[in-house]
């Protein structure tokens, strides 16, 4: 048994001071050659002990990927964006010449772009993501990792629950239910063992935030998960990872092994008497798998169909035992509630030669979770921004930030020569907004009474001229394809929505079609068991509200 | 491989409990590239789950394949960010090049072309997956070499 202080000391001692070259390899950047760049640098630099090559996750600046970040001292950090294999020889020549003062700067995306992308964000959750080695538990611990768990284990589970309730942590999967309320309910329920299930299915189109955390800072999730398990009294945890998120699964599995070796997973964790085992399970595709009761049934080996509630999972969940299901982003917020995100002294006044250093635009320890966001919804939210913006990527903003802030200040707005059109928000369960609604605040609950919600935090921006019927039809077709078929209204109603939309799009619509769409949206919404059906009318209702004239214009 | 080869492998890998159904199906797909009927039945025997329920579960997941795909599988993302950023024309081009409609395999079993709802790498739009590997920022100019690669 090792104490936390011993772990921390060993972790700091293990970090060598040297020139650090970070290649950001994530699910997204792999698709544009990051792996090849990393392999080439690895081969070229393997003989140079003065250069420490780190394969990190991504920091969210997807527009700049693949990124290479070179740190020769805390004050000399160079970022290279959209690096290709052709750039590798130049980079290697400079790094190995010993004189790294005048590193070449081949920022193709434009340095200003990166600065504005980060400056408009509040990075708390993503502090480490993209800058530390996700396969090294030492780097996580050296930067204050597992301090939250250590602190939690010295309190009673009830105290931990109270702290997280007081902090106001709401679930980030889309429903925004108080996370610790679930822990409390499962703790109070009879039944043993209790389970904690991490919902890492992330199957909502437009989302890639949980993958970024698992790939870039996997121990953050594990720490949050262990704290939640301790508070719940869960001795077994499952991490249910999306079928396609192979890199996430790999890095999480490595992190689990390291945490086991360090005595942070398993029996008598940090000498507290708390035992916890972790199993990784993979999904097999399907939006509905992210619905919490469906997820439980797929672990049990059943079809992917939601359960009737009550009983709620807190009373009768996995294998009919008390179960808590939390999203990756939710759990990743937990450690900073129990301790500050990154000890400020490691970020601000770090001494020359201290490694790993975080780039200067990353601010740690700025007041933690509760000082950010809204009174009704504390903390930050990860936003997945894509579509027609100059800087698509993963951003972190305080709850309550506006759509305009995200699309323009962070995303840079549409490229020159194009204009903003339909904005789809929250995936297929939410809605569409026109450019006149950019002052909408991103927060839990209805963003607009027609059914627009933030969901998991996906924002997809379309160009002006993309017909709203195309956007809505695509979302409706997705819902129809993903309907599991358990509830008749959803199974029959969602394809009917697509039929009517097709009829409108082809110019054969009749005057009753808009009314029929409204009617279908209402029935399917009212009579379906799970969120997929209940929310499937969102795109239609919001389109009817905001784009009613455009839709009516399709009828001859 | 046949039933008698598969049974000892399943016995070694998975305890005979229903909760191992999805991991077992993943194993079959990795091993065979799809889920052959006989293998589904063998999994049913091993886990003591009715074969009809194994089939029901297997067909309910979008990432599991009941039918054998072509030698290559090309999937084009039709999520909003991809579709309206060139994804739609890429799918049309590939459909012409391969001579198949989305969802079909060509007669020589060279390639299966599919649409997929989201690859979860939207900032890299438009994205295309070729044999399990995603490619981002795909341009029309990349298509000829992509087609040539697949033999």
Class of domain A145-338 as given by CATH: alpha beta
Task: Please state the rounded mean pLDDT for residues A493-505.
Answer: 97
Give ranges for CATH 1.20.1440.230 in chain A. 467-556
Question: According to CATH, what is the number of the domain A15-126?
Answer: 3.40.30.10
Which two three-digit tokens encode residue A198? 């991490």
Instruction: Mark the ranges of chain B whose per-residue pLDDT is less than 50.
Output: none
Q: What pTM, to 2 d.p., does this model score?
A: 0.95
Distances (CA, A) of A441 to A257, A425, A468: 41, 12, 22
The answer to whether A350 and A74 are in contact (CB under 8 A) is yes
Q: Indicate the pLDDT class of residue A352, thresholds 50, 70 and 90.
A: very low
| Separation between Cα atoms, residue A155 and residue A379, nearest integer Å | 23
No. of helices (H) and no. of strands (E), chain B:
7, 4
Task: Give all strands (DSSP E) within A98-242, no chain letters.
Answer: 195-200, 236-241
**pLDDT at residue A366 tops 70:** no
Phi, psi of A420 (to 5 degrees): -75, 135
Task: Please state the rounded mean pLDDT for residues A470-487.
Answer: 95
Which chain A residue has its CA at the smallest distance from B127's CA?
A: A31
Task: Please state the rounded mean pLDDT for residues A153-157.
Answer: 96
The answer to whether B120 and A202 are in contact (CB under 8 A) is yes
From edge to edge, which strands make up the β-sheet containing A323-327? A277-282, A236-241, A195-200, A323-327
pLDDT for A361 equals: 46
Topology given in CATH for the domain delimited by A372-466: Ubiquitin-like (UB roll) (3.10.20)
pLDDT for A364 equals: 46
Give ranges for CATH 3.40.30.10 in chain A. 15-126
pLDDT for A350 equals: 43
pLDDT for A369 equals: 85
pLDDT for A556 equals: 76
Q: Indicate the pLDDT class of residue A529, thresholds 50, 70 and 90.
A: very high
Distances (CA, A) of A76 to A19, A22, A61, A284, A436: 10, 14, 20, 45, 43
Chain B positions touching A62 (Cβ under 8 A) are 121, 123-124
Query: Which is it for strands A76-80 and A68-73: parallel, antiparallel or unpaired?
Result: antiparallel
pLDDT for A74 equals: 62
Determine whether the interchain pair B80/A301 forms a contact, defined as Cβ–Cβ distance below 8 Å.
no
**pLDDT at residue A105 tops 70:** no
- The candidate with the shortest Cα–Cα distance to A24, out of A67, A62, A77, is A67
Q: Indicate the pLDDT class of residue A356, thresholds 50, 70 and 90.
A: very low
Determine whether the interchain pair B57/A301 forms a contact, defined as Cβ–Cβ distance below 8 Å.
yes
Give the pLDDT confidence of A198-243 residue by residue, as tens digits: 999 999 999 999 999 999 999 999 999 999 999 999 999 999 999 9
**pLDDT at residue A181 tops 70:** yes
Q: Following DSSP, what letter does each residue of A491-525 receive, concatenated?
A: HHHHHHHHHHHHHHHTT---TTHHHHHHHHHHHHH
pLDDT for A98 equals: 67
Map out the domains of chain B with their CATH numbers.
Answer: 3-60 (1.10.10), 72-149 (3.40.30.10)
A539 touching B, CB under 8 A? no
pLDDT for A341 equals: 52
A385 touching B, CB under 8 A? yes
pLDDT for A353 equals: 40
The answer to whether A276 and A233 are in contact (CB under 8 A) is no
ipTM score? 0.96
pLDDT for A112 equals: 61
**pLDDT at residue A72 tops 80:** no
Give ranges for CATH 3.10.20.600 in chain A. 372-466
Cis peptide before B92 (omega within 30 of 0): no
Q: Indicate the pLDDT class of residue A99, thresholds 50, 70 and 90.
A: low
For A144: left if phi > 0, alpha if psi spans -120 to 50, otherwise beta; the answer is left
Which two three-digit tokens encode residue A474? 């695509």
**How far, in whole angstroms, is CA A56 from its chain's centroid?**
16
Phi, psi of A382 (to 5 degrees): -80, 130
The one-character DSSP state at A200 is E
Give ranges for CATH 3.40.50.11540 in chain A. 145-338
Task: Please state the rounded mean pLDDT for residues A165-193.
Answer: 95
Q: A interface mutation test: which of B20, B35, B78, B80 has the most A CBs within 10 A?
A: B80
- The candidate with the shortest Cα–Cα distance to A289, out of A264, A306, A266, is A306
Give the pLDDT confidence of A298-341 residue by residue, as tens digits: 999 999 999 999 999 999 999 999 999 999 999 999 998 988 55
Question: According to CATH, what is the number of the domain A467-556?
Answer: 1.20.1440.230
**pLDDT at residue A427 tops 90:** no
Query: Which is it for strands A323-327 and A195-200: parallel, antiparallel or unpaired?
Result: parallel
Chain A positions touching B122 (Cβ under 8 A) are 206, 208, 384, 386-387, 392, 458, 460
The answer to whether A378 and A168 are in contact (CB under 8 A) is yes
């Amino acid at each position: 048994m090792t104490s936390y202080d011993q772990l921390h000391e060993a972790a700091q001692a293990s970090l060598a001071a040297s020139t650090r070259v970070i290649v950001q390899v994530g699910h997204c950047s792999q698709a544009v050659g990051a792996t090849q760049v990393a392999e080439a640098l690895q081969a070229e630099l393997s003989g140079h002990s003065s250069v420490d090559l780190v394969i990190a996750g991504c920091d969210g600046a997807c527009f700049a990927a693949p990124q290479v970040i070179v740190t020769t001292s805390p004050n000399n950090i160079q970022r290279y964006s959209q690096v290709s294999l052709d750039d590798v020889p130049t980079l290697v020549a400079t790094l190995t010449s010993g004189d790294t003062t005048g590193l070449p700067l081949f920022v193709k995306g434009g340095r200003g772009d990166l600065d504005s992308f980060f400056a408009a964000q509040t990075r708390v959750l993503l502090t480490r993501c993209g800058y530390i080695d996700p396969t090294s538990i030492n780097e996580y611990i050296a930067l204050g990792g597992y301090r939250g768990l250590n602190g939690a284990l010295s309190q009673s589970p009830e105290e931990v629950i109270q702290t997280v309730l007081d902090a106001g942590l709401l679930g980030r999967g889309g429903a925004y239910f108080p996370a610790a309320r679930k822990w409390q309910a499962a703790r109070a329920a009879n039944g043993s063992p209790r389970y904690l299930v991490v919902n890492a299915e992330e199957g909502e189109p437009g989302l890639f935030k949980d993958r970024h955390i698992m790939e870039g800072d996997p121990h953050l999730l594990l720490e949050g998960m262990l704290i939640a398990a301790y508070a719940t009294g869960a001795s077994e945890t499952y991490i249910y990872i999306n079928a396609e998120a192979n890199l996430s699964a790999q890095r999480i599995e490595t992190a689990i092994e390291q945490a086991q070796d360090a005595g942070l997973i398993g029996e008598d964790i940090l000498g507290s008497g708390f035992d916890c085992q972790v199993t990784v399970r993979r999904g097999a595709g399907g939006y509905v798998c992210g619905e919490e009761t469906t997820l439980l049934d797929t672990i049990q080996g059943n079809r992917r169909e939601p359960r009737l509630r009550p009983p709620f999972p807190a009373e009768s969940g996995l294998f009919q035992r008390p179960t808590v299901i939390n999203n990756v982003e939710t759990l990743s917020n937990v450690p900073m509630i129990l301790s500050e995100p990154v000890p400020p002294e490691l970020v601000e006044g770090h001494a020359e030669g201290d490694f790993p250093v975080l780039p200067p635009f990353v601010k740690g320890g700025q007041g933690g979770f509760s000082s950010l966001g809204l009174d009704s919804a504390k903390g930050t939210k990860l936003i997945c921004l894509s579509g027609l913006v100059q800087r698509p990527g993963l951003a972190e903003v305080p709850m309550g930030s506006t759509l305009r802030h995200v699309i323009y200040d962070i995303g840079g707005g549409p490229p020159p020569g194009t204009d903003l059109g339909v904005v789809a928000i929250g995936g297929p369960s939410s809605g569409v907004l026109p450019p006149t609604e950019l002052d909408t605040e991103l927060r839990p609950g209805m963003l607009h009474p027609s059914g627009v919600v933030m969901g998991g935090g996906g924002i997809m921006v379309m160009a002006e001229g993309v017909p709203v019927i195309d956007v809505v039809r695509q979302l409706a077709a997705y819902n129809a394809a993903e309907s599991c078929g358990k509830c008749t209204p959803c199974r029959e109603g969602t394809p009917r929505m697509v039929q009517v939309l097709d009829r409108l799009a082809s110019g054969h619509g009749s005057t009753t079609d808009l009314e029929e769409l409204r009617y279908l949206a209402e029935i399917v919404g009212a009579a379906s068991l799970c969120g997929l059906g209940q929310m499937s009318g969102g795109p239609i209702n919001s389109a009817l509200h905001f784009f009613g004239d455009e839709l009516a214009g399709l009828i001859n | 491989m046949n039933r008698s080869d598969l049974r000892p492998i399943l016995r070694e890998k998975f305890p005979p409990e229903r909760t191992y159904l999805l991991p077992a199906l993943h194993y079959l797909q990795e091993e065979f590239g799809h889920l052959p009927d006989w293998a589904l039945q063998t999994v049913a025997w091993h886990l003591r789950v009715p074969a009809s329920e194994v089939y029901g579960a297997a067909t309910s997941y979008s990432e599991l394949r009941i039918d054998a795909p072509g030698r290559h599988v090309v999937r084009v993302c039709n999520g909003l960010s991809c579709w309206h950023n060139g994804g739609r024309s890429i799918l049309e081009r590939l459909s012409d090049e391969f001579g198949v409609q989305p969802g079909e395999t060509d007669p020589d079993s060279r390639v299966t072309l599919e649409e997929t709802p989201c690859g979860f790498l939207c900032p890299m739009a438009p994205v295309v997956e070729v044999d399990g590997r995603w490619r981002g920022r795909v341009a029309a100019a990349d298509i000829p070499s992509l087609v040539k690669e697949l033999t």
